[in-house]
């Protein structure tokens, strides 16, 4: 899938070039929303949204409405469903505007039918779902791995929506807040740029999958960004069997909903000294290897850990790599210091946006 993401990162750079040539500061919140939605459309749904050129693309409009309901009714309904999901299931109340669901379902159905009727394949997430749907292969013991028809069109559409839900806001907020911290910390930014230049020279200027994989300091920048601003500020897990807390009489009963305050853990000074300081050196490979697995959980932990971890790093990183190689990032006056986070957002989302000026580097 990497070539699809890199193509979109190049389009993002071209869009930034255009804004820079017009003398405009960039709202990185909007910039990363466009960039990430374009990736979701391409990799998850197999469509090109052209969001950098067409802000009114129906895919983008419907996608944003999926995350930010445009009416008071759907805003209230979504909030109530979050706190009382069982009640909504029993009453069969829709939680999302059916127009949005119908749009994405019909889009997926059309693309799946086109690919099957024309024997067309593409290296993306949707293709994997199509293969699951059509899989009637037999393993070595003569047992069908997946009964054909069990994975239905509904499952394909539902998983593309899940892909959007899991991959859009998390990567968009991580990218924009990493840019904010890089602009706020020039020494960190210069160290990241030095690494990018060094690695790209080794690969003849090509930002290949292998090249970006070698940018260890850039990964550390993202790790520290996700520590200060975790993509999900809290996790919810339901206890599946009775569990006694170690060295305690406290028993968590089966069925109990457990709230895990990720942001509080990752900003705990006993775990991360001087937690307000942005310090990527906390995540040097040796230190990260010794870290307790539940002290840093931007992707969750255990058997339900995020499956899209590698893609999350790639798509958050690539746009920054392209920009840092060409520009210096400088905070615009509209970006508050310290950053203000929307109180109502489950993800760490910047209140008022992240505004950054681009300063072209001397060749």
More confidently predicted of 218 and 91: 218
CA-to-CA separations, 214 to 9, 138, 191, 202, in angstroms, rounded: 18, 39, 14, 11
Q: How confident is the model at residue 138 (pLDDT cuts 50, 70, 90)?
A: very low
Instruction: Outline where the chain has alpha helix (H).
Output: 2-21, 28-39, 45, 58-67, 72-83, 85-91, 98-117, 125-134, 153-184, 186-202, 209-213, 216-228, 262-266, 285-290, 309-326
Strand order in the sheet with 327-331: 26-27, 355-360, 327-331
Q: How confident is the model at residue 233 (pLDDT cuts 50, 70, 90)?
A: confident
Find the mean pLDDT for residues 217-235. Answer: 94
Find the mean pLDDT for residues 200-216. Answer: 95
Find the mean pLDDT for residues 208-236. Answer: 94
Give the model's pLDDT for residue 223: 97
More confidently predicted of 308 and 209: 209
Give the model's pLDDT for residue 14: 96
Find the mean pLDDT for residues 148-176. Answer: 87
Residue 7, pLDDT > 90, answer yes
Find the mean pLDDT for residues 276-291. Answer: 95
Find the mean pLDDT for residues 124-135. Answer: 88
Find the mean pLDDT for residues 310-328. Answer: 94
Find the mean pLDDT for residues 25-31. Answer: 93
Query: How many angstroms separate the CA atoms of 74 and 80, rounded?
Result: 10
| Assessment of whether the complete model's pTM goes beyond 0.95 | no
Give the model's pLDDT for residue 359: 96
Query: How many angstroms separate the CA atoms of 328 and 38, rounded?
Result: 24
Residue 313, pLDDT > 80, answer yes
pLDDT (tens digit, 9 = 90+) per residue, 337-355?
A: 999 888 777 678 888 899 9
pLDDT (tens digit, 9 = 90+) per residue, 48-83?
A: 888 898 878 899 989 888 888 888 888 888 888 878
Residue 140, pLDDT > 80, answer no
Mean pLDDT (the chain) is 90
């Amino acid at each position: 899938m990497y070539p699809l993401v890199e193509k979109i990162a190049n389009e993002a750079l071209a869009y930034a070039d255009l804004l820079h040539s017009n003398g405009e500061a960039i709202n990185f919140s909007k910039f990363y929303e466009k960039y990430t939605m374009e990736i979701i459309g391409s990799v998850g749904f197999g469509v090109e949204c052209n969001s950098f050129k067409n802000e009114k693309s129906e895919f983008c409009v419907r996608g944003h409405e999926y995350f930010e309901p445009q009416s008071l009714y759907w805003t209230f309904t979504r909030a109530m469903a979050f706190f009382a999901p069982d009640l909504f299931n029993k009453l069969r109340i829709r939680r999302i505007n059916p127009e949005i669901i119908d749009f994405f379902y019909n889009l997926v159905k059309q693309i799946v039918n086109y690919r099957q009727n024309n024997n067309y394949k593409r290296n993306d997430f949707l293709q994997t779902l199509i293969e699951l749907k059509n899989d009637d292969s037999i393993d070595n013991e003569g047992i069908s791995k997946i009964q054909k028809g069990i994975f239905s069109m509904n499952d394909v559409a539902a998983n593309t929506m899940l892909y959007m839900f899991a991959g859009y806001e998390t990567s968009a907020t991580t990218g924009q807040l990493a840019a904010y911290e890089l602009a706020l910390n020039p020494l960190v930014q210069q160290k990241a740029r030095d690494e990018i230049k060094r690695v790209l020279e080794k690969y003849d200027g090509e930002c290949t999958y292998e090249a970006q994989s070698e940018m260890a300091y850039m990964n550390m920048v993202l790790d520290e960004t996700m520590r200060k601003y975790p993509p999900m500020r809290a996790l919810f897990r339901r206890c599946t069997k009775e569990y006694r807390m170690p060295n305690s009489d406290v028993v968590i009963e089966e069925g109990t909903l457990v709230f895990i305050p990720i942001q509080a853990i990752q900003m705990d000074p006993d775990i991360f000294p001087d937690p307000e300081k942005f310090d990527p050196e906390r995540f040097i490979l040796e230190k990260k290897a010794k870290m307790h697995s539940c002290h840093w959980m931007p992707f969750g932990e255990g058997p339900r850990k995020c499956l899209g971890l590698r893609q999350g790093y790639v798509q958050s990183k690539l746009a920054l790599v392209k920009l840092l190689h060409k520009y210096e990032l400088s905070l615009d006056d509209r970006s508050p210091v310290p950053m203000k986070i929307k109180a109502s957002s489950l993800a760490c989302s910047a209140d008022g946006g992240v505004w950054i000026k681009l300063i072209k580097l001397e060749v």
